[in-house]
């Protein structure tokens, strides 16, 4: 919400129509790299409580990297697939187990 949410939201907005110019592609790549790095941070300091968390963190690492690669190649279809099928799926995988229900 405070870390990954803004990167995911911004990437999704950028990919709705596709990045318009070189700066937007570079910005998308930066958001993707931050998402990938967040997957590593989620595993730091022995904070991982279980397999659901570990699997989601790994999926976030890989999905963010795939999104960054697609952004570097300016491939909007691959970028959308990486965001939707990996990055956002990793969020759902972890939050379905660990998000506090209100």
Q: What is the DSSP string of 64-98?
A: HHHHHHHHHTT-HHHHHHHIIIIIHHHHHHHHHHH
pLDDT score recorded for residue 4: 92
Band (pLDDT 50/70/90 cuts) for residue 1 is low
pLDDT score recorded for residue 3: 82
How far is residue 78's CA from residue 72's CA, in Å, rounded to a whole number?
11
Q: Contact at 8 Å (CB) between 76 and 18?
A: yes
- pLDDT of residue 2 exceeding 80, the answer is no
pLDDT score recorded for residue 81: 98
């Amino acid at each position: 919400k405070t870390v990954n949410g803004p990167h995911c939201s911004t990437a999704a907005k950028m990919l709705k129509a596709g990045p318009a110019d070189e700066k937007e592609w570079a910005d998308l790549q930066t958001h993707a790299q931050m998402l990938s790095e967040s997957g590593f941070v989620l595993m730091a300091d022995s904070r991982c409580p279980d397999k659901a968390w570990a699997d989601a963190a790994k999926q976030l690492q890989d999905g963010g990297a795939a999104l960054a690669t697609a952004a570097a190649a300016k491939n909007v279809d691959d970028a959308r697939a990486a965001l939707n099928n990996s990055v956002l799926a990793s969020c759902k995988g972890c939050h379905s187990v660990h998000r506090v229900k209100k």
